[in-house]
Structure 1
Amino acid sequence: MTASIGAGIDDYRELLDDVFGERIVTWTAEAEASERFPRKLIEHLGSSGVFRGKWGPAGDQHPDVAKLNELAFRLGRLGSAGIGVGVSLHDSAIAILRRFGRSDHLRTICEKAVDGETVLCIGASEESGGSDLQIVETEVRTARDGFEVRGIKKFVSLSPIADHIMVVARGVDGDPASRHGNVLVIAVPTTQVQVQAPYRKVGAGPLDTAAVHIDTWVPADHLVARAGTGLAAISWGLAHERMSIAGQVASSCQRVLGVTHARMLQRRQFGATLFEHQALRMRMADLQARVDLLRHGLNGIAAQGRLDLRAAAAVKVTAARLGEEVLSECMHIFGGSGYLVDETPLGRWWRDMKLARVGGGTDEVLWELVAAAMKPDFDGYAETIGSPTSPAKYHSGL
């Protein structure tokens, strides 16, 4: 089935129930074995109306956050970070184009991506700066009624199968030496770049990630966000990715806890099931309580009716750290079997979860975003401590 545009959350859930069937489960298993992302999976999601049902008709700039969460939950249940993150990256690029793409060319790319006819990826990080997008070294300069784009992007997931890269770069028409205030985003066809061999990674095998060497020219209508607005554009896309990662982690953790709980009820040691041993049962209960709160937090963000960039950063870093703990504890409870690759998927899930603390922004980068939005209560301090102080004296300067 295909959800009608503007369908409610219940209809969208029904659509996801129908789409996330045996076909996607099989493709996911094949992708884990081959360590290659199946482009046909994104095509299937698009043609089935999964992205369209979430984004609505052409021109809508804001997603339905509740549907964003639901899609993330379904991706997390697949038990493959490579597949889940790959889909979310394509969707994050759609987010950038929906809000910032103004030309007919960009709108066409965007709607084809929504329908699964085109695959998108994002080229942001470089060897020089990693997560620091303010010192990006890829350069864009005006030339021949368009733009010359030159640089190297180190971590571009989906680049081996994508059609277009949303490249984060800096405009050098004004001050070539400047590294601040001139960040832009430009769409570059993958047919005009050199995609290197995919990296071998610790986990998330199907998430094809490679370096991309760029030295090309594109027409003016490929510019997504002009110099000075690039950070806003990429931050918007990253907020979608972070929300999706948090939702995937919540769903993945629930699956792992359920599998581990079943194991504990079947495994007996010292005359009782593992779940009857209070120490293990309390440990599981603690993890379950926090995973429940994570999911409630995601639903609370969705209830606001808009995507909150600070909340997306906060929930992603919190989810990633919790997910790492859940996987580590569950793998421990599985004992020796959890360490055997041929007996259980716990080891693979454990390795996959590590990506959540790096992809879409490291813990420290996200904590900085949260810290920057914190507000001191000087009146409360004066009332409780009794020593009123000028706010300016303690301004952090961040």
Structure 2
Amino acid sequence: MSVDNGVQTYAELLDAAFDEKVTAWTEQAEQTQRFPRPLLEHLGTAGVFARKWERRKQTDLHDHFALGRHLGSLGSAAIGVGVSLHDSAIAILRRFGRNDFLTDLAERAIATDAVLCIAASEEQGGSDLQNSETRIFPENGGYRVVGAKKFVSLSPIADYVFVVCRGVGDDLETGGNVALAAVPIEQVEVGEPYQKLGAGPLDTAPITIDARIPEEALIARPGTGLAVISWGLAHERLSVPAQIVAACDVMLGVTVARMMDRSQFGKKLIDHQALRLRIADLQSRVDVLRYALDGVAAEGKINLRTAAALKASAANLGEEVAAECLHIFGGIGYLETHTPIGRWWRDMKLARVGGGTDEVLWELVAAAMKPDNERYQALFTVTGNPTH
């Protein structure tokens, strides 16, 4: 696919791609509560994914965060998450797709001729991917995949679903031996999309799987799947903070404008010190998050624990910003027909759940923490005996 759009930088390409059509599709999606596949195809035609990936196995994080910020500025968590999920599946194929079938599927996804989604969570397991009850076993020179998934976003519009599963010889109580398979949507029964608290247009539905796939559709054999799906999840978790930074900028900007327009007790809301300083604190923390992303991008490494820390921290900050902005809007913020603030507040809750809950992510961070035993001993040992 040609990516020569007469645009010199990726940032300029994104500015051109996120045009009035994307805005219109986003607004329509919030009304219909359905994800607009034409929006995703438009981004593919504009070269958004082709320029981002080029021939690389790993994306440039400056580009990754730039795309995330453009998605966050749309004011729709559903659109942002949906596009980033498709891109995360591309990340898996680019690094681990080593045969012609998977290489071709990656190119089709980059061109958005094929839309990808990821099926991980199950009703009993949630984020516990090592205990997936969906099974994969050899059959007639290929594989059979059997099981069910509870929350599969984009499944109603996808062409392929990447199914997290486990080898048939494993004890269901033991866990581990995870695999990942690319299953065509034609071999999957997609249920009715859920009516959700927020992010309505992010078509999320249950699926039932009884599929037969060729050998080359196995992305990760049993025992390697957890590392592979974790790579994809890291891309999603790194996109979320960039989306939240942009979404917070939108919410804070609108709220400051409201504070400069609305008067209470004889003066503008912005002139009430308590409100003004509360917003200043939030803006400062959003700016710090923005600078943190710049630092991670400059380092250029995709680290699973860094991704977890950024996503969890950003999600909590985003939820706080959304709640405070809704509070400052007062009663009018609760009117769905007057402002989108209430919807933004509901949407932001998804950030603390989707792609790994806070607790799952903090466990990843905790696992990397190291004690400074030498300093501890020097500070707290007296005549050879530790103090308590």
Say yes or no: TM over 0.5: yes
Equivalent of 1:77, from 35, 56, 73?
73
Could you list the per-position Cα deviations for residues 144-203 of structure 1 after superposition, in whole angstroms to 9, with x for gaps in the alignment?
A: 00001100011000000000000000012x445574331010000001110001011001
CA distance in structure 2 between the aligned counterparts of 1:76 and 1:389, rounded to whole angstroms: 56
Of the structure 1 ranges 199-208 and 265-274, higher mean CA displacement relative to structure 2 is found in 265-274
**Distance in 2 of aligned mates of 1:361 and 1:33:** 28
Q: Which residue of 1 aligns with 2:239?
A: 244
Partner Cα distance (1:345, 1:130) in 2: 30
Matches within 5 A, 1:1-398: 4=4, 11-57=9-55, 60-172=56-168, 174-175=169-170, 177=172, 179-386=174-381
Q: Contact (CA 8 Å) 1:47, 1:115: kept in 2 or not? A: yes
Instruction: Measure, in 1, the Cα distance between the counterparts of 2:23 and 2:305.
Output: 33
Counterparts in 2 of 1:169 and 1:346: CA distance versus 1, 3 Å: same
Distance 1:324 1:161 in 2: 29
For 1:67-118, what per-residue CA distance to the aligned partner results, in whole angstroms no more than 9, with x for missing partners? 0000000000000000000000000111111111112111111110011111
Residues 382 and 15 of structure 1, relative CA distance in 2, 3 Å threshold: same
Q: Which amino acid aligns with 2:102?
A: L
**CA offsets, 1:300-357, max 9 Å, x none?**
1111112121111000000000000000001000011111111100000000000000
How many residue pairs end up in the alignment? 384
Structure 1 letter corresponding to 2:246: S
How big is the shift at 1:128?
1.6
Asked if 2 retains the 8 angstrom alpha-carbon contact of 1:314 and 1:370, the reply is yes
Following superposition, the deviation at residue 47 of structure 1 comes to 1.2
- The one-letter code matched in structure 2 to 1:68 is H
CA–CA separation in structure 1 for the residues paired with 2:250 and 2:3: 26
CA distance in 2, matches of 1:16, 1:175: 46
Q: Distance in 2 between matches of 1:388 and 1:36?
A: 69
- Aligned partners of 2:145 and 2:211 also within 8 Å: yes
C-alpha distance in 2 between matches for 1:332 and 1:178: 46
Mapped to 2, the partners of 1:145 and 1:178 lie a distance apart of 28
CA distance in 2, matches of 1:280, 1:121: 42
* Length-normalised TM-score, structure 1: 0.94
CA contact under 8 A between 2:131 and 2:173: conserved in structure 1? Answer: no
Q: Quick check: 1:28–1:80 contact (8 Å CA) kept in 2? A: yes
Contact 2:85 2:236 in 1 (8 A): yes
Distance 1:365 1:78 in 2: 28
**Corresponding letter in the other structure for 1:33:** Q
The answer on whether the counterparts of 2:133 and 2:172 sit within 8 Å (CA) in structure 1 is no
Residue 354 of structure 2 aligns with an amino acid whose one-letter code is: G
Q: Please, which runs of 5 or more residues in structure 1 have no aligned partner?
A: 391-398
Question: Aligned pair in 2 of structure 1 residues 271, 175: CA closer, same or farther (>3 Å)?
Answer: closer
Q: Residues 123 and 167 of structure 1 are in contact (CA less than 8 Å); yes or no, is this contact kept in structure 2?
A: yes
- Residues 262 and 177 of structure 1: CA distance in aligned 2, closer, same or farther (over 3 Å): closer
Q: Which residue of structure 2 lines up, in the alignment, with residue 395 of structure 1?
A: none
Structure 2: 5+ residue stretches without partners:
none
Q: Distance in 2 between matches of 1:201 and 1:321?
A: 20
Contact 2:91/2:235 (<8 A) preserved: yes
Residue type at the aligned position of 2:112: G
* Alpha-carbon distance in 2 for matches of 1:276, 1:149: 62
Deviation at 1:298, TM superposition (A): 1.0
Do the aligned partners of 1:52 and 1:114 also contact (CA within 8 Å) in 2? Answer: yes
Q: Partner residue of 1:394?
A: none
User: Partner of 2:211: helix, strand, or coil?
Assistant: strand
Identity of aligned residues (%): 59
> Within 1, Cα distance between the matches of 2:383 and 2:333?
56
Measure how far apart 1:388 and its partner are: 10
Q: What TM-score results when the alignment is normalised by the length of structure 2? A: 0.96
Say which SS state the counterpart of residue 334 (structure 1) adopts.
Answer: helix
* Cα shift readout 1:370-394 (whole Å, capped 9, x = no counterpart): 000111100111122226999xxxx
